[in-house]
């Protein structure tokens, strides 16, 4: 092996993506609301782009029909009146006297988020009504700060005591005092336990619990049934209860299995996460990008882009840009860059529209049985299959379908809903995995609760219908549906 510096030549191919291609891919990826904001920003930054209102489109079409071509290209009175020095605006900036200020009648106002009350606010309002000393109030605030969104205490009581005592010691050190001479004596574990009990008496019931068992006990106790059978089952037989071991619980408490099951049903009605009622999470609203409607027996696809700004090239700035003798250097480069960018943006938006329509048209053709029969009519479909049919790359189809929604006669669905793997049947056809999951869900909903279907029993039923499926696949789909095993579902 020789060491040292060597020179060599080689020939290779490289693919360098143009920045505009990156932007085009981003446009395909953008959901409807993001696209609206993006086009709004482009209108503000590129003087060669103008907003076309629907009324203007109708007027332009009427003018083209009634006016000769030569007259249609003539400048309007406002452009020749000389009221605005377009050349000066182009050279010096666009902050003042912009023509878009006159054409944009609708101004966008950012929605103002209203103040919402979360769980901490709700608890502090109740604490303020209690007769607490400053020392007790400080400890109560420490507990409230450690209650998570589900309503549970996120740490141990000892950790709460250690944290608040550390603050007291730090405050004493900053004041130049000995820790024993702190303005507040250190808190004890017993003192913290008493305060936690007062926190757990607040609304909502079950707040401040350290685990699920304590949460359920608090809720039962607050209803005035501290010594009832449900309370005793949760307090002394919780492990057997959550594992549905009805016979063991029945023997232990001297009651029948059916009675245990009835009590378990009542306990299941309690709230396992009381804090979520005050969650600060906002509702997510969906605006579909596409619409599928059945008209005269045929399914038609439409783009839901009525609120998307329609862009066109500004005639005023085009006229200015044609006089190339007036501009040189940076001015010429700026005009060329903005004009090319405006042309490209209009083309990219149209390309996005056509691509989305192509993809959705093929989905409708492929999944027609779904629109007619429901989920069980779904057929296997992959991104590659769509890409090959419409003549585009698989990654392009992935961007088109990502975070996009379609309004159909069967509800608003994500485009990804129509894509799933397939399972073979005895008839040689393929069936969608999502459709199989729907069949399993229906079988479980119709089963006899005293003799619930096992995973192998479901396999046998599906095979009788011609679907070849493994037991582990059934178990996976059942878990995804949130359904317990047959032993856990069994009723006595």
The tens place of each residue's pLDDT in the chain, 492 residues long, gives 567 677 778 777 655 555 556 566 677 777 777 787 888 888 888 878 877 765 555 555 555 445 444 333 334 444 443 344 434 433 443 343 344 444 344 444 445 555 567 889 999 999 999 989 999 999 999 999 999 999 999 999 999 999 999 888 888 777 655 555 555 689 999 999 999 999 999 999 999 999 999 999 999 999 888 889 999 999 999 999 988 888 899 998 888 988 999 999 999 999 999 998 887 555 567 888 899 999 988 999 998 877 777 787 877 777 777 766 666 667 777 777 778 888 888 888 888 888 889 999 999 999 998 898 888 788 888 889 898 998 888 888 888 888 889 999 988 999 988 988 776 666 656 677 788 888 898 898 888 888 898 999 998 988 888 888 888 988 988 998 888 888 888 887
**H helices of 128-156, where?**
134-145
N- to C-terminal Cα separation, the chain: 79
Pairing state between β 49-52 and 290-295: unpaired
The answer to whether the CB of 486 falls within 8 A of the CB of 454 is: yes
| CA–CA gap between residue 26 and residue 417 (Å, rounded) | 22
SS3 state at 202: coil
**For residue 299, how many other CB atoms are within 10 A of its CB?**
17
């Amino acid at each position: 092996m020789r060491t040292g510096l060597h020179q060599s030549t080689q020939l290779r191919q490289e693919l360098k993506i143009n920045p505009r291609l990156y932007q085009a891919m981003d446009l395909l990826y953008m959901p409807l609301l993001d696209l609206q904001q993006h086009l709004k920003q482009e209108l503000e930054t590129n003087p060669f782009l103008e907003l076309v209102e629907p009324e203007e489109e109708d007027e332009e079409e009427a003018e083209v029909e009634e006016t000769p071509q030569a007259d249609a290209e003539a400048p309007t009175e406002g452009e020749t009146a000389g009221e605005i020095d377009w050349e000066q605006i182009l050279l010096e900036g666009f902050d003042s006297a912009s023509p878009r200020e006159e054409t944009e009648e609708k101004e966008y106002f950012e929605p103002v988020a209203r103040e919402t009350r979360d769980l901490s606010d709700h608890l502090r309002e109740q604490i303020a009504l209690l007769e607490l000393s400053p020392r007790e109030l400080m400890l109560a605030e420490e507990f409230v700060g450690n209650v998570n969104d589900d309503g549970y205490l996120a740490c141990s009581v000892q950790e709460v005591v250690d944290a608040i005592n550390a603050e007291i010691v730090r405050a004493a050190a900053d004041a130049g005092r000995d820790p024993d001479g702190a303005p507040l004596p250190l808190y004890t574990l017993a003192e913290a336990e008493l305060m936690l009990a007062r926190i757990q008496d607040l609304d909502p019931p079950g707040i401040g619990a350290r685990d699920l068992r304590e949460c359920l006990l608090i809720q039962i106790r607050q209803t005035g049934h501290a010594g009832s059978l449900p309370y005793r089952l949760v307090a002394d037989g919780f492990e057997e209860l959550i594992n549905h071991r009805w016979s063991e619980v029945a023997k232990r408490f001297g009651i029948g299995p059916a009675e245990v099951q009835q009590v378990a049903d009542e306990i299941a009605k309690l709230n396992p996460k009381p804090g979520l009622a005050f969650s600060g999470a906002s509702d997510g609203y969906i605006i579909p990008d596409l619409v599928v409607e059945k008209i005269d027996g045929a399914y038609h696809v439409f783009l839901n882009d009525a609120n998307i700004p329609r862009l066109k090239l500004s005639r005023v700035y085009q006229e200015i840009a044609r006089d190339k003798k007036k501009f040189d250097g940076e001015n010429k480069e700026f005009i060329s860059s903005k004009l090319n960018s405006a042309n490209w943006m209009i083309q990219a938006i149209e390309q996005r529209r056509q691509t989305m329509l192509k993809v959705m048209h093929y989905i409708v053709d492929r999944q027609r049985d779904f629109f007619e029969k429901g989920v069980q009519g779904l057929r296997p479909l992959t991104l590659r299959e769509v890409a090959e049919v419409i003549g585009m790359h698989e990654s392009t189809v992935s961007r088109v379908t990502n975070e996009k929604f379609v309004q159909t006669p069967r509800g608003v669905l994500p485009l990804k809903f129509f894509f799933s793997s397939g399972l073979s049947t005895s008839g040689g056809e393929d069936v969608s995995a999502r459709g199989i999951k729907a069949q399993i869900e229906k079988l479980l909903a119709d089963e006899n609760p005293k003799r619930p279907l096992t995973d192998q029993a479901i396999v046998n039923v599906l095979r009788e219908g011609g679907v070849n499926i493994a037991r582990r696949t059934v178990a996976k789909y059942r878990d995804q549906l949130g359904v317990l095993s047959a032993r856990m579902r069994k009723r006595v």
